[in-house]
Structure 1
Amino acid sequence: MPILPRTLFWSVLIGWNTILWRCWFAWRVRKPQDWWQAAALGTIVLNLPIPAEVALLSRVMGGQIASTWPAIWLYAALISVALVPVIALALPAPPSEPYAFTKGVLWRAGARQASDVQAVVAEDHYCRIFLHGERSTLVHARFSDVVTELLNADGLVVRRGHWVAAGAVTSVARQNRKWVIEAAGQKLSVAASCVSQLRRSGWI
């Protein structure tokens, strides 16, 4: 194909599959742990119709793709495999070793390492610390100070006065026009200013 139809061909093909992948992840991923399973399954399900898409687009653009279906599936599989290390490098890595507390607000609340903390919710001049085993305790502290102690932990501020550990998240779902996180027995609507950070971290 000439350069302009060829450019349009690839733009439409890549754009269409980008939309499919976005919809696929929105449907399959409800918590951060779902991401890799959804990606592996999507590599099979979303790559299956690619030869038909290529054939249809090539006819629309006035060209003729000579490659057979098995060859196109092979190319799609190779591209998918090549993207895995790129995406893996882009995802935030967990701390190399657990961060232990030997003093501070969280230590007084009964947490000995970051993985003990499920969520933190500000309540006036206090913070409620949710720990493993469905335990919670109220401590006199500023929310910002507690979040600073959790700086190296795998978690995010999802709205003002609410911090949630990634391991505590049981679902992330779209409800009406808002994202809602279920964690530590609570349902929390995500602030609009925090959505982009959740996307970068793979929560959404």
Structure 2
Amino acid sequence: MQPQSPKHGAVSSPPSRAQLYLENWQANGLEAGKFFPRSQPGMRDPFAPDDVVNAQPPADGKIASAGKDFAASLDEVGTDWKKHSVTSGQNLEITWGFHAEHKTRRFNYFLTKNGWNPDQALTRAQFDAEPFHSVQLPEQPYWEHELAPGNPTTHTLRLPQRPAGHQVLLAVWEVADTGQAFYQVIDLQYT
């Protein structure tokens, strides 16, 4: 049995891949360096330069697991993931639950591109380069402000246009007072 690590936060609704296929403590611990889709560590936040620089973001092919060995099954290739049914342009509510306090800078939401290949590992090239939705807490410097979203926190996203089929939504919660972000993948079935 693996030791439990500190719990942090995860998407609970619609259920993320982590919520569906991992134990709760594991689903809440999918953290790696912030600023996706960037791949290098040691970068300052251009919006909040006093925030802690980023740690190493997850490697391509390890985005769903945030590079955590205990969650490697989330990176498996295939289309048999449990999917949440959606339509182009609909509003989708994403709910995060938090199990450890972190000063929050932003939440970014990315979607796989038109024509992405579900038979290949999730890479930066499979996602749009810019988030289709972002929620940013503007107060600076982080040590003088609470920067704590409600628990739970729900964001309403208008989904981009996509053809019918499997798409992957990547939800990233970026922390101001560490170099980390929390990665959650939600499988969608566009109808």
TM class, shorter-chain normalised?
under 0.3
- Quick check: which one's helix share is greater? 1
- Larger % of strand: which? 2
Quick one: higher RCO (CA 8 Å, sep 6+), 1 or 2?
2
- Bigger radius of gyration, 1 or 2? 1
**TM-score by structure 1 length?**
0.24
